[in-house]
Structure 1
Amino acid sequence: MTVSLTRADDADKQRAFLILLANPVVTAWTDPGGYGLVHRHAHTLGVWCARLGYQLAHLDQCYRLRRTPIAGTVAQPEGLPPERALLLLVLYAAACLDDHRDDSITLQELSDTVRLSAAGRGGWPYDPNLHRHRTLFISAMDWLVGQGVLERLTDDILREGWAQSGQGIGAGYRVHRDALVLFIDTGDVDLALRPPADDDDTRRQRLLRLMIETQALYPGELDDDDRSYLTGQRLRLAGFAEQMTGGTVESRADAIVLSIPPDRELPDSLLLGFPAASARDWAALAMIERIGAATEGSFRTLPLADVRRMAADVWADGGSRLTAELRESPAAVVAAVGHRLAELGLLRTSDDDWTLTPLAGRYRDAQLSTGESTGQIAGETTDETTRESGGQQMLMEGS
């Protein structure tokens, strides 16, 4: 009984830690269950954060994971960053909310304030008369709602009406100042600009950050000093990562990969979720297989001209079974697959070529099949994780 309770307690701590990784600001009104877990295990979480060189800040009913930079850098998860215009609107809105004295505000009111603030500083020209800018602004507000800074008080009707016409109040929000204070805290700016002292050994923190934040550490990309440290401390670092996340570390010569087990209570952003039962992911698997067969090494690079040729083959194989979007042209396959693999951290792109990361090797040797009689495309992956769960069949999305 004691062992069972201990395991359940460990699982709760790991879930709380993962919630912080996915949502650095956790509040009692955005995620009551997650906040309860973080609050209950705050001491242990503080110790774990210190291992990574992070800090766990607490104010009233809010917690924030502060990813303090080392020598101006942080471990940035693989994938596509948010649109720059969206981030600018989030920052402008947060700064304007800091000057707002009331406990509530409307969408239209905040939009007007942001427009004047951006124009007064000569910054990005936010124009709420443009539908695209209004849509971006609503996305920025949704971001702040997700961080607990704002809490919506009205339904979708007013907001959708404002997005379409720019008329009305748009929406009403409650302002949570405790979450706002943690969200806009600039106390780490100096750490981002200040180089570390010569006697500071940050190797453990930096490598552990890579392992946990990106879930894939590539020894070939490390300098000699870091690679030497990893050789001697690989098991210890893997043990820390598994203890804090509940995941499993797979160690290979070209990659150290952290696999987090599926959990419905965890945010989707922590789980790879690939391959899904979609035509796009079938095409992605087919491209991984073709590129892998035509290249060698850990990071498999192929010129963009060859990528387009392979995409044309995938497009021809799929034919009418593809979705309407993918049926447009081989270029549509290149765009859709490139975006999908990049957001998963399986692909790095440039103007001249595509490079599959070692993590993409998990999804090679897929047994793809075309269901001629049903007009469906299916595939069964053969990586270890999928085999253990009995395999995964992929069916076509409706076009």
Structure 2
Amino acid sequence: MNREAANRQRAFTALLRSPVLGRRTHPEIWPLVRANRVTLGEWFAQRLGYRLVVTDSAARLFRLPVDGAVVAPRRFRPPTRRVLVLAILAAAGAEDAEDITTTQDLSDRVRVLSAHEDVELAHYDPDRFAERTLFVKAVHLLVSVGALRPTARDDEDQREGWAHRRDAIGGAYEVRRELLLRLVDPASLRAALTGGHDAGAPHEAAARIGLMRKLLELPVVLYEDLTDAERFYLTGQRHRVLAWCAEMTGWVVEQRAEGMALIAADEADTDLPFPRLRAADFAALMVLDELVRTYGAGSVVTADELGSAAAAVRERHSQAMTNDLRVGNAVESTALDLLGALDLLRPTGVPDRWRLTAAAARYRDPRVVAVNARLDEEGEG
């Protein structure tokens, strides 16, 4: 593979990972996106039904919904609804702010907006510590999507200081109006309201887009989850689909009797690598192994069976449990949360019943070795 092809892959996978890329925020990737914007735009539009907008200083990938939904799973432990509401209000306030604004200025604007008689939302009260903490998270969310750019490196410390009233103004930010105004894309909004950007598209195009989105966005694609049209398209175009995946990402498609998975070359290319060297991941992996060995992949397990597996892991690996995992049903809830996000333990629609998906067998019989490094709950040990 030549260098140009490798650069296109780097740009493509970077946009999947970070849908907002800028000249300043991603100085290494930005030139690759700009240089390959035509090809990248065609890949996203024709193969995935997404829209890529590239300007002089930033790129934004819009995952256009189909039938009011997108295939990409929600982020693991996403922001709460209140944080999202405050972020939207802060974005509206930032539009009328000066080119350089502060946490305090945005907070004042949101307080006024939330109290407006036409805004039917719970009033934002910055005098409450809980609200200030949530507002800090809302500002961080706007930073992550490029609408605000911190003017100092210690932005996080300043925001935390503001939440605890140790800093009068909090962080200072440049309002990036170009990206601020692209937070809501007209095409995305229209697609969400009308049932999809490709309504009325040819049958084959809809099947192609649906299949490719699932391969690129989901941890694993089970054949049982494909529509009849997607299965038919895959049957006739398997070689084409595999070639596209290799061309765009450089990753390998693992094919099994029950489904397919596009395996990223580096864990940095996925939003939820598993297992990492963390106590939470270790506990979840051990619970998964306990369930697979006892019941088998494809089986339905109950809340009691999940609880028993968690108890067995906690007892067998007591020294590996961090303090937060020793409390109550923490191992059980942690495993359920993480394995559910990975689609290894899938809700059945019946309360307190989950199905071990076929991909769960991939993690059976993990080899456990003792290491001197401490398992860190927040980062790598």
Partner of 2:83: 86
- Structure 1 contact 274–281 (Cα < 8 Å) conserved: yes
Counterpart-to-counterpart distance in 2, 1:26 and 1:398: 30
Gaps of 5+ in 2: none
Contact 1:27 1:179 in 2 (8 A): no
What secondary structure sits across from 2:12 in the alignment? Answer: helix
After TM superposition, give the deviation of residue 307 of structure 1 in Å: 0.6
With over 3 angstroms needed to count, the CA separation of the structure-2 counterparts of 1:198 and 1:31, relative to structure 1, is closer
Cα drift, residue 271 of structure 1: 5.6
Distance in 2 of aligned mates of 1:79 and 1:359: 20
Please give the alpha-carbon distance, in whole angstroms, between the structure 2 residues aligned to 1:47 and 1:223.
25
Length-normalised TM-score, structure 1: 0.84
Match for residue 20 of structure 2? 25
Which position in structure 1 is the counterpart of 2:170? 170
Q: Across the two proteins, how many residue pairs are aligned to each other?
A: 365
SS in 2 for 1:63: strand
Alignment partner for residue 76 of structure 1, among 67, 72, 79? 72
- What amino acid does structure 1 have at the position aligned with 2:35? R
Instruction: Look up the SS of the partner of 2:59 in the other structure.
Output: strand
1:36 paired residue among 24, 31, 35: 31
Cα offset for 1:24?
1.1
> Residue 31 of structure 1: SS of its match in structure 2?
coil
CA contact (8 A) 1:94 1:184 kept: no
C-alpha distance in 2 between matches for 1:23 and 1:77? 14
In the alignment, what sits opposite 2:375? 397
Q: Distance in 1 between matches of 2:69 and 2:341?
A: 21
Decide whether aligned partners of structure 1 residues 254 and 124 sit closer, same or farther in structure 2, where only a CA change above 3 A counts: farther
Change (3 A) 1:88 1:283: same
**Cα separation, 1, equivalents of 2:166 and 2:343:** 38
Q: Is the 8 A contact 2:219 2:342 kept in 1?
A: no
After superposition, give the CA deviation of every residue in 1:213-240 in whole Å (9 maximum; x if it has no partner). Answer: 1242121122333322222223322221
Q: Is the 8 A contact 1:286 1:314 kept in 2?
A: yes
Specify the SS of the correspondent of 1:65: strand
Instruction: Give the whole-Å Cα distance in 1 for the aligned partners of 2:3 and 2:300.
Output: 44
1:340 maps to what in 2? Answer: 338
Q: What's the C-alpha RMSD, in Å, of the aligned pairs?
A: 2.5
CA distance in 1, matches of 2:277, 2:12: 29
CA distance in 2, matches of 1:292, 1:395: 28
CA deviation map 1:98-136 (0-9, x unaligned): 2x1521111111112112222320114332222222122
In 2, Cα distance between equivalents of 1:58 and 1:337 = 40
Aligned to 2:254: 250
Give, in whole Å, the separation in 2 of the partners of 1:205 and 1:48: 11
Percent of counterpart pairs with the same letter? Answer: 35
Q: How does 1:91-106 map to 2 (within 5 A)?
A: 91-98=88-95, 100-106=96-102
Is structure 2 residue 225 aligned with structure 1 residue 231?
Answer: no
Shift of the alpha carbon at 1:280? 2.7
- Structure 1 residue ranges without an equivalent (≥5): 1-5, 370-377, 379-392
Q: What is the distance in 1 between the residues matched to 2:189 and 2:376?
A: 48
- Give the conservation status (yes or no) of the 8 Å contact 2:132–2:163: yes
Indicate the residue corresponding to 2:184 in structure 1: 184
Does 2:140 correspond to 1:145?
Answer: no
User: What corresponds to 1:49 in structure 2?
Assistant: 44
Alpha-carbon distance in structure 2 between the residues aligned to 1:57 and 1:224: 32
- Do the aligned partners of 1:282 and 1:394 also contact (CA within 8 Å) in 2? no
Out of 1, 7, 10, the position equivalent to 2:5 is 10
1:228–1:332: structure 2 CA closer, same or farther, 3 Å change rule?
same
Cα distance in 2, alignment partners of residues 352 and 70 from structure 1: 30
CA contact (8 A) 1:94 1:180 kept: yes
The alpha-carbon deviation at position 305 of structure 1 amounts to 0.9
Residues 165 and 362 of structure 1: CA distance in aligned 2, closer, same or farther (over 3 Å): same
How far apart in 1 are the matches of 2:158 and 2:44? 41
- In structure 2, give the amino acid aligned to 1:315: R
Letter in 1 for 2:176: H
